[in-house]
Structure 1
Amino acid sequence: MELRSLKAFVTAAKRLNFSEAAKEMCVTQSTFSQTIKQLEEELGTVLFYRTSHKVSLTKAGEELLPFAVTTIDSADNCSRRMNDLRELKCGSLNIGVTHSFNMVMHETLKDYMKLYPDIFLNIVYKPMTELINRMMNHELDFVLSFRPKDNYPLIESHLLFEDVLSVIVRRDSPLAKHGKVSLADLVDYPAVLPAKGLQARNVLDRILSETNTQLNVRAEMDEVTPLLRLVRNTGLYTVLSSSATEDVDDMVAIPINHDGCHMEGCVQTLKGVYKNMASKEFIRILCETSLVKKRITDWLR
């Protein structure tokens, strides 16, 4: 049963005149009559009594009318909702974010929520592996993280900016005077590290294993904000991506001098999955943030 046929039926039921109904639908009367006849044949019943003077609904026509009206209204609502989604007037967006991307999110969320107040945002902060698994289960639209070292055949990584694993210290720390630091420079200083499973920790553990280096680790934390607070309050150092200190005036990021410390901030998406307009617009705004633009510019220089 075609929607066009139901619309013709409802128009005829309203007008009770095939000629006027045909004009309203901008078709010839013969075409309109044929459409009604085909609908009656499909349903196996007569919907209209026809005489030379008037048209009226049969009992079957009266029964069909409210269902036809509801069906047409539902189709129109569906069309309007799809248009609203395209224009970002409704809907939701599920975003996975690793803790290292916390600084990037502040500016993006503020601008996005101001531009699109009717889009509901569900932001999930978890380790990258958990976020990737949730995205592969279609629980998340995309993930913001550093490029994974492991191979995920179903995932595409879209580069946002370049970064480097760095030592994060207060400006009054003895380490702060270095332009770069080696792992050997760190062994005599106490550290508070991101928890195992977080991306910065994964990179650090790999290069520690490669160089057979052991650090003086006093504590581990699984969230960046309290980790930086502890560094500020105690004078310990931590190891994160250099972007972790954006907009933090009393701390500095000192790159670790090792080939394996290069990091790439990426948008992770599922291969072959349609990217909705809400996602595309969020990523566009993300790319316009001062942090991302600064790092793209620095990389291109």
Structure 2
Amino acid sequence: MELRQLEYFLAVAEHSNFTRAAEALHVAQPWVSAQVRRLERELGHELFDRSSRALKLTEFGKMLFPLAETALQTVGKIRSTASAMAGVLCGHLAIGTVDHPLPLLADALAAFHQAHPAVSITLTEARSDQLTAAVLERKLDVAVVGQGSSTPPLLREQLLTQQNIVAIVHRDDPLASRASISLEDLRNRALISHPQGSGVRKILDQACLAQGFVPDIAFETSSVDMMNHLVTRDLGVAVAPEFPADRLDRVRQIDLSDEVMRGRLTLVWREKGATPEAEAFAAYVSELCSAQTDLVGVP
């Protein structure tokens, strides 16, 4: 049995198709098929049900899938550790992030890549809850997430910036002339907010429940541009981190007086079992945070 065979097996399982798996692996499709067949002969079990167009794992294939993932991850860690001991990083760094305009992540990536060009890097965008779970499940090495005041268990964190969560209204809205409002003022208003599972949404939901009501969420989006479009068409009040200045031409941004409407954007990684690449990248982020004094609140 070869590691390459396990890699091909996982790719076919993930894509449910030999051709798409071969394209993702950048190898010829017949070669992938032949290696999977060879693995099946060595194990004495079929791994895929080929009776339909979409491949499905057999029961044995389902049992093998997590074992193959663990085997490849372990080999990757061994190689990374050996390289790190030699002073060279050449493994893989899987990064996740929420949607945000903070340039610090790109700056850290640039510095890290320049110092460790042999490390391959992937970047995934998702909600904070999905990213946190992926780091804990070792599907991601590090992630930029939005959250409240507490750090998730089993994770280390580096604070990137504090977030002021505000209300964004149409410029002709009755609230537009006010410098500050409270959540109580939004009790009967249609709201535009981040999706369930995001750090900002968790803060909003908990704060409203503490005031004795459930927020009326008319639209969910993580996109600043989409929020802006919805507010300018008077479809609701957005509750989100502060908008960039260039998005405020047709809307008004109002402070929320509720103290709980504050959040944080942080980098998180595993407290135990972090890869050398994750530790090195976190060190670059920490160094940039120490040097940067004018961070802007972001979603």
CA contact (8 A) 2:97 2:125 kept: yes
CA 248–223 in structure 1, closer or farther in 2 if over 3 Å, else same? closer
| Deviation, structure 1 residue 206 | 0.9
Identical aligned pairs, as a percentage? 18
Structure with greater Cα Rg: 1
Distance 1:225 1:169, change over 3 A: same
> Match for 1:281: what amino acid?
Y
Q: Is the 8 A contact 2:128 2:145 kept in 1?
A: yes
Measure, in 2, the Cα distance between the counterparts of 1:82 and 1:202: 44
Q: Deviations over 1:74-110 (max 9, x none)?
A: x9xx76995453xxxx6543222123xx121x46426
Aligned to 1:109: 106
3-state SS of paired residue (2:260) = helix
Secondary structure of 1:209 counterpart = helix
Deviation readout 1:19-39 (Å, 9 max, x if unpaired): xxxxxxxxxxxxxxxxxxxxx
The offset of 1:238, in angstroms, is 1.0
Q: CA deviation at 1:170?
A: 4.5
The equivalent of 2:168 in structure 1 is 168
CA shift, 1:284, in A, is: 3.6
Residues 110, 264 of structure 1: alpha-carbon distance in 2 compared, 3 angstrom cutoff? closer
Q: How many aligned positions are there? A: 210
- Looking at structure 1, the residues matched to 154 and 111 of structure 2 have their Cα atoms a distance apart, in angstroms, of 33
The counterpart of 2:280, out of the listed 277, 280, 297, is 277
1:65 alignment counterpart? none
Cα distance, 1:262–1:221 mapped onto 2, change above 3 Å: closer
Structure 1: state its 5+ residue gaps. 1-74, 296-301
* Partner residue, 1:266: 266
Q: What TM-score do the two structures reach when normalised by structure 2?
A: 0.56
* 2:251 is the alignment partner of 1:248: no
Asked whether the 8 Å contact 2:203–2:261 carries over to 1, the reply is yes
Asked if the contact 2:165–2:263 (Cα under 8 Å) also holds between the matched residues in 1, the reply is yes
Q: Distance in 1 between matches of 2:189 and 2:84?
A: 62
Map of 1:24-173 to 2, 5 A cutoff?
83-85=87-89, 91-99=91-99, 102-104=100-102, 106=103, 108-109=105-106, 112-113=109-110, 116=113, 118=117, 120-148=120-148, 152-171=152-171, 173=173
CA deviation after TM superposition for structure 1 residue 135, in Å? 0.6
Displacement after TM superposition at 1:157 (Å): 2.9
- Answer yes or no: is the 8 Å Cα contact 1:98–1:144 preserved in 2: yes
Q: Following superposition of structure 1 onto structure 2, how do residues 165-204 of structure 1 map, counting pairs within 5 Å? A: 165-171=165-171, 173-204=173-204
Judging by fraction of residues, say which structure has more helix. 1
Verify the 8 A CA contact 1:154 1:271 in the aligned structure 2. Answer: yes
Residues 205 and 215 of structure 2 are in contact (CA less than 8 Å); yes or no, is this contact kept in structure 1? no
What residue ranges of structure 2 are gaps of 5+ in the alignment?
Answer: 1-78
